[in-house]
Amino acid sequence: MTDHAPIRRNLQRLTLAACLVASAGCRTDTDDVHRWANTQQGPRKLMAVMTHEKYVPELRIEAAMTLVRMKPRAGRRVGIDELISGLADLPAARRAVIVSGMVPLLVQEIQKPPPPEPTGNAPREPDTSFPYKDAAFALLTHEGEVLVADKQQRQMLEAALSEWVLADFSARMDDSSQAYGVGQLLAHLGADGVRRLPQLIAPEAKKIGNIAGFIADFGDAQTKLEASQRLVKVAQEVDSEAWLKRKAPALKEANEASGQKVEGARFDAQLALYQEEELLRVLSSLKQVGQAPAVEYLLSMARDKSRNEKRREAALAAMEGHVDRKNPALAEGLLELARAEDTPDSVRDQALRRVGELPRKQVIDSLYGLFANRNWKIRWVAAELVLRTSESQHLPEFMTKLGAVRNMAITEPIRYGKLIAGVPGTPPAREVIKPYTASQYPAAVRLTALGYYLDQGTRTELPLVEPFQADATRVPECAKDAADCEWQCEIAAAGEQVVKPVKTIGEFVQYCVKPAMQARASAESVQQQAQNQPAPSP
């Protein structure tokens, strides 16, 4: 008795085939093959006919196709499972006879037009192509190219599958009866499989987001470019007055059907929200595909001051990962948005995030230029970008630029100090930053250096910062009418948390830096004591 599954299957097939030949003294024909498709042992009988060389090739091929056509049992296409299993166990030459006969028949069925859209409430006719598509895919993907060794036959099947996806993308993607989904097909077909998908991208088309995702994952440069161009046209259509006029009647009908009475300004707001939701979906697809047409359109939307803040912010967010590092006009457009006084904060933040995707050398001067902006939040975000793209050798330059700052929020030195801690390079940031606590440097510089110790200072460094508690140098206060710019720290006093105003560098050290360092030292001491505890006796 053997433990090898292929050998067992061969013995079973030989036994079954012998029985089939001997039974009733009758010759097996196509009627038997078709009848067995509906019997309990049918799959095994059909596989035996398909694999036994005593049967003529035409009958063996018909048995294979009958396995493909068999209805699922308990949700599984057992016929296709038996087909693949049987073919895998055959010698290459005998397998090729069956596969060569199957390929044109599979292609013929796969290429049949999908059922038409039903009229009224009538159900849609079933799509008969799924078992043939599943069988073709299984043949192509089982253990590499073993089952379909002939290159031309593989190309025939792959071309048919590409056409199949294109013919009825939305319905075929959603069908849950198939053994292999559209995504699996396209992952196997790669660039060739998605090359014509941009043709499906049009206003009112279904599944645009899925199409964009597949093109982004598998498409070549030309396919992505075409998809980008078509997505821009869809976005322009959705973002138009014509779209609003076309959708208004359907929205009114939907309101009436749900028993809602929405009129006048409320209806206009509802329609505008509907438009915005649809537009954001298209922007999400643009983000997936990217390319120059998408980026150009998104930047123009972000720069359009007549648009609402949410759409402008979403447009810049959709550019993530697609900023052309060799396009100076794009960099200037983003920086212009960041500099403008009337740019909403959320839009400015996204603009600077996109600037952060550009080479440091290209944007560093412009980022330092933002340090002089009246709005401290603009400087804050710009400085973050500078530090995130810096090495320790750049820190003296950063400190010099910061020295020109006249107004500052307490958030800045604390945040800058934390970011400096993560700046890589040689010498380490800790050594570079230490001298900048000295009194000859401007207050903004000294506070930032002390902010480093607030975040990173150790017990041994407490003597370094404690002398500054007596420093009466005024902190650079907030600009007039600056929002969220209070200079204050929260400390523990008499078992309660007390907010203390900060007016000098000394108070910054006393109320902010030193308590943070002491708390860190206490935590380190507790941890060290725990590590030094002897292990419990067994």
Select from 159, 138, 123 the least CA-distant residue to 64.
138
Q: With b meaning 16 or more CB within 10 Å and e meaning fewer, what string describes 80-110?
A: bbbbbbbbebbeeebbbebbebbbebbbebb
Tell me, what's the pLDDT at 9?
Answer: 53
Using 50, 70 and 90 to split pLDDT, how confident is the model at 10? low
Torsion, Cα 313 318 322 327, to 10 degrees, reads -40
pLDDT in tens, 85-127: 999 989 999 999 999 999 999 999 999 999 988 887 788 888 9
H/E stretch holding 491: strand 488-493
| Interatomic CA distance for residues 476 and 404, integer angstroms | 11
H helices within 52-91, ranges in order? 57-69, 78-89
Residue with tokens 């003294």: 25
Count other Cβ atoms within 10 Å, centred on residue 277.
10
Residue 329 half-sphere exposure toward CB, CA atoms < 13 A? 5
Select from 251, 325, 333 the least CA-distant residue to 297.
333
Range in 86-100, 444-458, 510-524 with the lowest mean pLDDT: 510-524
Using 50, 70 and 90 to split pLDDT, how confident is the model at 482? confident
Averaged pLDDT for residues 254-266: 89
Averaged pLDDT for residues 296-311: 94
H helices within 111-240, ranges in order? 130-141, 151-167, 169-174, 182-189, 191-194, 208-218, 221-238
Using 50, 70 and 90 to split pLDDT, how confident is the model at 11? very low
The pLDDT > 90 percentage for the chain reads: 67
Mean model confidence pLDDT for the chain: 89
pLDDT in tens, 319-331: 999 999 888 889 8
Averaged pLDDT for residues 141-157: 91
ω before 427 within 30° of 0 (cis)?
yes
Select from 59, 131, 129, 134 the least CA-distant residue to 97.
59
Averaged pLDDT for residues 25-38: 76
> Which tokens is 269 given?
């707001």
Tell me, what's the pLDDT at 304?
Answer: 95
Tell me, what's the pLDDT at 21?
Answer: 45
